[in-house]
Structure 1
Amino acid sequence: MPIPLIVGVAAAAAGIYGAVKGVRGAIDHSNAKDINTDARSMVKSACETVEDQRKLTNSILEDYGQRKLRAFNGVIADFIETFERLKNVELSQSPELDKLAAGDFSNRTLSGLRQNYQALKDAGLGVGAGLGGGAALAFGAYNGTMLLATASTGTAISSLGGVAATNATLAWLGGGSLVAGGYGMAGGVMVLGGIVAGPALAIFGHILGNKGEEALNKARSNMEQARTVCDEAKLTVKKLKAVETVTALANNTFSMVTSQLRRSVTDLKKVIEHEGADFRNYSHESKSVVFRSAKFAQLLKAMIDTPILDHDGSLVLSTEKRVQDVAAVANGQKTFLDPISA
């Protein structure tokens, strides 16, 4: 009676095979769960790192914008009022100012400062006014020409907050969320100068309803996506850190030049008080005071005209060198300031 024995052995083998497969399926499900947990943890950590750096970058840009506004309502307004009291000023007598391209200071730099200050007042940002978060961010990121666009009448046609709201990078920097393509940050879209870091926390597919092997394959696919998110997050953080570094340099340089201009304006007021307003009657030392005040006003205008970000929200690569040059001229380490390239 060999046949029943063979059937019995086959049935036992099938049972063992089924049991092994069941165990393997359970192991695959367990491994899939572990992989998915690791993938989620990686993405969560990457998103938190981006968010932390976003807050730092946003903060330094806002601080820079507030510093610019304080300068306009303070030392720049004071300089304009004091310098305009002078008569018969001939700045071309200063070789140092000629190298700064300040021979046309009265026609260009002073006029530009006046226009920017007037545009700020037209936007309701005169003395005593403050900047909201989006406006401060935009004022820190952009230069005077980009930010204070004016019509032929001289009336400001773009609000500071509006500029921030319409720029994807500034909207994300200021708010931490951005709707793009139908997805928000929870859906995995983070935009910075064209970099898309995602998908984010919601990337992972269901595994519970899948068979063990299918679940494991899905989890491995999720892990690959998580690695991609982490790589893109690292790139985003790198770009954010670069913006933060350049903005911090600009902020410190702007503060230093502002202090130098403030001291120069104080000295200029003393000259006017003791020697009158006619530049032709000034002593050599008094003319040097006029030259210095014009020099630092010129440098401050150069800073105002130097943007941190371009229209697309990317870091302007030439800005760091430009700011370093302004600092070198202000500290007497350099006498020549290249014109801003178009």
Structure 2
Amino acid sequence: MFNNKLKKTAIDNYKKEYNKHESLVHEANNAVMNLYNERKSASIAIKRVETYINTLANSPKEFKKEIGDVTLSIKEFRDAVEFEKKAQQSNIKGAGIGTAGIAGGTAVAALGPATAMAIATAFGTASTGTAISALSGAAATNAALAWLGGGALAAGGGGMAAGNALLALAGPVGWSIGAVAIISGGIFAANQNKKAARQANEERIKIMKENEYLRTRIQVIASIINSTRSLRYAIDLTDVTNLFPNDYNLFTSEQKQKLATIINATKALGEEINKNIA
């Protein structure tokens, strides 16, 4: 048939690009979860520094203030982790979003708490002001969705609807291409060869752009993971707790400098935890 080869080539090229997309989505999902887990480890490391500073005799007041500021700055992240823990303990599934997603428009159903919070902390921007960890059941889920959406409606945020939209569209679990169901070629088959070839090429270009977006975000996430891990290692307190005096007034100048370096690294680590993926 006239232009049949043109159509077949266009659809084959579309399928190849779509397969790349599937692989990149999987890679992005893993990257976001790795980032979330690395940030949880970083949050624990910051807590250790806070505990050490607060129990060190004659600890400088400025150190306590600086660490207190870091702790306050990562409160939203810790709220997300607490929500995840409570949801896991209660066997609560996540958002339960029903929306067109990956795999040919099927529903992205019942996101798990860890996945939802991984997305929220990578892409979210604000809290409802309510401690999610203090809630449970549907209230916790609703609060988390509002948190994902940039705050409750009353606070000027997007509310639950925006949370749904973010989970469906902004996070890697929901990264998708519209009309991916045409991967079967069924829609193309209903059209004339030349028109079908044009449509397949148009859809392929859309996927190419989305794939480039994914590749860029994966690189950004990898960079944040590396910097977060490096800073976490930099605030290791093993030598400090084992070798340093229990009283700051008894520190040598070198020991004081070492502790000051740890404080600065802790502040930088707090900033890394709060970085969002644009």
Judge same fold: TM > 0.5, yes or no. yes
Name the residue aligned to 1:301. 270
Quote how far apart the aligned CAs of 1:42 are. Answer: 2.2
**Alpha-carbon distance between aligned partners in 1 of 2:131 and 2:36, rounded to the nearest angstrom:** 26
Structure 1 unaligned residues grouped into runs of 5+:
1-29, 93-101, 189-199, 208-217, 309-315, 317-342
* Pair 1:87–1:230, CA change in 2 (3 A): same
Give the residue type in structure 2 aligned to 1:248.
Answer: A
Give the alignment partner of residue 291 of structure 1, picking from 245, 260, 263.
260
Name the residue aligned to 1:159. 144
**Alpha-carbon distance between aligned partners in 2 of 1:302 and 1:243, rounded to the nearest angstrom:** 19
Name the residue aligned to 2:204. 230
- C-alpha contact 2:169 2:175 (8 A) present in aligned 1: no
Name the residue aligned to 1:134. 116
**Alpha-carbon distance between aligned partners in 2 of 1:256 and 1:62, rounded to the nearest angstrom:** 18
**Alpha-carbon distance between aligned partners in 2 of 1:236 and 1:42, rounded to the nearest angstrom:** 15
Give the alignment partner of residue 13 of structure 2, picking from 42, 52, 64.
42
* Pair 1:255–1:270, CA change in 2 (3 A): same
Name the residue aligned to 1:203. 187
SS of 2:276's equivalent in the other structure is: coil
Deviations 1:49-99 (A, max 9, x none): 211111112211111111112332x3222222112213544476xxxxxxx
- C-alpha contact 1:257 1:300 (8 A) present in aligned 2: yes
Tell me the matched-pair count. 234
Q: Which has the higher helix share?
A: 2
Q: Does 1:174 align with 2:169?
A: no
Structure 2 unaligned residues grouped into runs of 5+:
90-111, 149-162
- C-alpha contact 2:231 2:265 (8 A) present in aligned 1: yes
Give the residue type in structure 2 aligned to 1:174.
Answer: V
**Alpha-carbon distance between aligned partners in 1 of 2:28 and 2:261, rounded to the nearest angstrom:** 34
* Pair 1:153–1:234, CA change in 2 (3 A): closer
Name the residue aligned to 1:76. 46
Quote how far apart the aligned CAs of 1:175 are. Answer: 5.2
Quote how far apart the aligned CAs of 1:176 are. Answer: 6.1
Name the residue aligned to 2:246. 276
**Alpha-carbon distance between aligned partners in 2 of 1:247 and 1:231, rounded to the nearest angstrom:** 25
Range with bigger deviation, 224-233 or 115-124: 115-124
Name the residue aligned to 1:150. 129
- TM value normalised by structure 2: 0.69
- C-alpha contact 2:228 2:269 (8 A) present in aligned 1: yes
Deviations 1:92-145 (A, max 9, x none): 6xxxxxxxxx896145224334x357525642539x989633333333x236xx
SS of 2:235's equivalent in the other structure is: helix
* Pair 1:161–1:71, CA change in 2 (3 A): farther
Quote how far apart the aligned CAs of 1:295 are. Answer: 1.3
Quote how far apart the aligned CAs of 1:240 are. Answer: 0.6
For residues 239-254 of structure 1, what are the structure 2 equivalents within 5 Å?
239-254=213-228
* Pair 1:88–1:187, CA change in 2 (3 A): farther
When Rg is computed on C-alpha atoms for both structures, the one with the higher figure is 1
Deviations 1:282-328 (A, max 9, x none): 321221122022011111101012111xxxxxxx2xxxxxxxxxxxx
SS of 2:173's equivalent in the other structure is: helix
**Alpha-carbon distance between aligned partners in 1 of 2:51 and 2:120, rounded to the nearest angstrom:** 27
Give the residue type in structure 1 aligned to 2:144.
Answer: S
Quick one: percent identity of the two aligned structures? 14
Quote how far apart the aligned CAs of 1:241 are. Answer: 0.4
- C-alpha contact 2:126 2:147 (8 A) present in aligned 1: no
Name the residue aligned to 1:51. 22
**Alpha-carbon distance between aligned partners in 2 of 1:112 and 1:154, rounded to the nearest angstrom:** 17
Quote how far apart the aligned CAs of 1:38 are. Answer: 2.4
| RMSD of aligned residue pairs (Cα, Å) | 3.6
- C-alpha contact 1:257 1:296 (8 A) present in aligned 2: yes
Give the alignment partner of residue 125 of structure 1, picking from 58, 65, 85.
85
Quote how far apart the aligned CAs of 1:153 are. Answer: 10
Quote how far apart the aligned CAs of 1:230 are. Answer: 1.7
Quote how far apart the aligned CAs of 1:258 are. Answer: 0.9
